[in-house]
Amino acid sequence: MQIIAGIDIGGTKSAVSFARYADGGIEILDKVKRPTRTADYHSAFHEYIEIIQTQLKASPDWRLCSIGISCGGPLDAEKGIIMAPPNLPEWDNADIFTPLRNAFRVPVMLQNDADACALAEWRLGAGKGTKNMVFLTFGTGMGAGMILNGQLYQGATCMAGEVGHIRLEKDGPYGYGKNGSFEGFCSGGGIANLGRMKAQEALEKGVVPSFCKSMDMLPQVDCKEIGRALEEGDATAREIFDIVAEYLGRGLSILIDILNPDMIVLGSIYARQREALEPGMQAVIAREALAASGKACKIVPATLGEMIGDYAAVSVGMKAYDDFYR
């Protein structure tokens, strides 16, 4: 049985998934989770190798055919180097290819998490069957993975898709190193910053938002609390998400005009708050994007849910296998 191993590396937890690969599809058979050894990448890589070796010994009918790795950037995907991501600052110049290739002698591929999730949603999720698809993380941050003409597009330095860095306004919530950025308006961190700004304005006017009842609570404001307040009908939370919808529409209009995709898949926050965001977002796209391009682009929530990290890493392994053998 042909098996792909997918290693999903996070700042606190890592998971190694094992999937059967047949007829272009996958079935996840098992998963092993461990706390990420953030202080020493050498021991972390050794642990991943041990996990794979143990599973292969326990399942003699399994034949490992490739390994995929999903990890937050920056990284050098071609050389397999992880370059001190914000959530793994001690993993500087960490070569993950060499130990895995030496241990298993199979194709190994590394992708940043946005590109890996794009591959997963394109192969297995909402974007299946499309030729030109953009996946936006829309979670803690805002990044993109792009499938163009049926291929993952990474750019000259594997930095394509850093859409969170686009400035949408001269001033505004802070995100990705600048105020008024796409990430500043449309990410968990950005929405929290916007929430603090709007809560302070409301409190100064004598209006008390349900998610922030005093100035002392401003540092504790986060995206989830604002989302709960929105569901309860809080007016300030409604104003915040109306602003988010406006700038989400502006950001997507830029991507639609430049890339002309069949589909844009939005992760995390959009999947939870689609009802609140979609009408305003679509109104802006109708106003800002080229009519023909806007009409051709379907905008949908991601469908792989809580397992997207597992599917993402395995999808990178699928690509490693396909690129090597086909």
pLDDT of residue 86: 83
Q: What is the pLDDT of residues 18-51, one digit of tens each?
A: 999 877 678 999 999 999 999 999 999 999 999 9
Does 133-303 match 2-112+306-325 at the fold level?
yes
Residue 316, both tokens: 């990178």
Burial of 282 (0-12, 13-18, 19+ CB in 10 A): middle
In this prediction, residue 11 carries a pLDDT of: 87
* Other CB atoms within 10 Å distance of the CB of residue 49: 17
Distance CA 80, CA 70 (A): 11
For residue 42, give both structure tokens: 């050498």
Cα–Cα–Cα angle for 133, 143, 306, rounded to 5 degrees: 80
pLDDT tens profile 47-103: 999 999 999 999 999 999 999 999 988 899 999 999 988 889 999 999 999 999 999
Per-domain residue ranges for the chain?
2-112+306-325, 133-303
Helix, strand, or coil (residue 301) = strand
d(CA 18, CA 67): 9
Confidence (pTM): 0.90
7: helix, strand or coil = strand
- Residues of the chain with confidence (pLDDT) below 70: 24
In angstroms, the Cα distances linking 45 to 92, 305, 319, 325 are 14, 27, 21, 25
- Name the CATH topology of 133-303: Nucleotidyltransferase; domain 5 (3.30.420)
Rounded Cα distance, 231 and 241, in Å: 11
Residue 112, SS3 per DSSP: strand
What secondary structure, in 3-state letters, does 44-102 show?
HHHHHHHHHHHHHHHCCCCEEEEEEEEECCCEECCCCEECCCCCCCCCCCEECHHHHHH
Q: How far is CA 202 from CA 43, 192, 212, 235, in A?
A: 50, 15, 10, 10
pLDDT at position 24: 67
For domain 2-112+306-325, give the fold.
Answer: Nucleotidyltransferase; domain 5 (3.30.420)
